[in-house]
Amino acid sequence: MRDALPAAERLLLAVLRNPAFIVVLVAAPIVLVLIFGFIFGGAIAVPGRATGGAGYREFLIPGLLVMTASNIVPSMVTAAKDNHTGLTDRFRSLPISRVAIPAGHALANLLYGVIGFVIMMLCGLVVGWRIRGNLIETLTAVGILLLFQFAATWIGMYLGYLFDDEETAGQAAILVMPVGMISNVFVPTSGMPGWLRTIADWNPLSAVCAALRQLFGNPSVPAGGVWPLEHPVTAALLWAAGLLAVFVPLCTRGYVRAGR
């Protein structure tokens, strides 16, 4: 942990010196809320609500929070960049724990993830989203969100270490987008074809999203007999723990082998 903190500090300082990243961090949540909340939102029906408008925006914000948490692109590009510039080689030569650098990245990501969540929540409050759960439920929801983002960061870093440069990692990022879309993040899965609905219902993002909607007291989708959607909080915690159990060792191994 002592080794991880300087690594996190390095990444945070790099972010502060990158105004483009800060602009994207601030603008992305606003753009997503505007596009989905106002352009498509009026046409999308939410279970138990009239078509579109404020009802859909209440349904949408937890989904957008999960999309923000699951954005693996920054960690993917950062890992690929460190790999490309030879920084990973230099870090490996230092007398520090093998897991310190990836852990530092994950902690830094967590911090500016919190900033992204705050901006998204403020946007949500402006457009009519409300937290209707009690304090414990709300804190549990935020905890799940942070845990899931922490897990997603390790996935991003693992994939980033597989690439030789940040351009390739950035181009590969477009393939990540459908993973977030094929879920209940933006629309209820009931309107999807059967085969796609099964994938969407078992997508980890769907479970986390359903957990947030339940804990925040927002409109949710019918579970349809699918276990992760019937027990969303448990499923979200299990998914996060499972992803961490798989990707922390994989990422550490990827870091050790990167560029060799």
Residues at the interface with other proteins (CB under 8 A): 35, 38-40, 42-45, 51-52, 171, 174, 177-178, 181-182, 186-188, 190-193, 196, 200
How near is the Cβ of 193 to other proteins at its closest, in Å? 6
- Smallest distance from the beta carbon of 139 to other proteins, in angstroms? 31
- Measured from the CB atom, is 38 or 112 closer to other proteins? 38
Q: Which is nearer to other proteins, 13 or 196 (CB)?
A: 196
Residues in contact with 247: Cβ distance below 8 Å, sequence separation at least 6, in sequence order: 151, 154, 155, 158
For residue 203, the minimal CB distance to other proteins (Å) is 11
Closest CA to 221 of 6, 18, 44: 44
CB 208 within 8 A of CB 176: no
Shortest approach of other proteins to residue 88 CB, angstroms? 25
Q: Minimal distance in Å, beta carbon 123 to other proteins?
A: 15
Alpha helices in the chain (DSSP H): 4-16, 19-34, 54-69, 73-85, 87-92, 100-127, 135-162, 166-172, 177-181, 194-201, 204-216, 227-230, 232-257
Nearest residue (CB) to other proteins, 45 versus 110: 45
CB of 172 to other proteins, least distance (A): 10
Residue whose CB is less far from other proteins, 80 or 248? 80
Contacts of 69 (CB under 8 A, 6+ apart): 113, 117, 145, 146, 148, 149, 152, 208
Q: Smaller CB distance to other proteins: residue 76 or 248? A: 76
Token pair of 4, please? Answer: 């991880």
Q: Which two tokens stand for residue 61?
A: 């914000």
Q: Dump the DSSP string for 41-74.
A: GGG---TTS-SSTHHHHHHHHHHHHHHHHT--HH
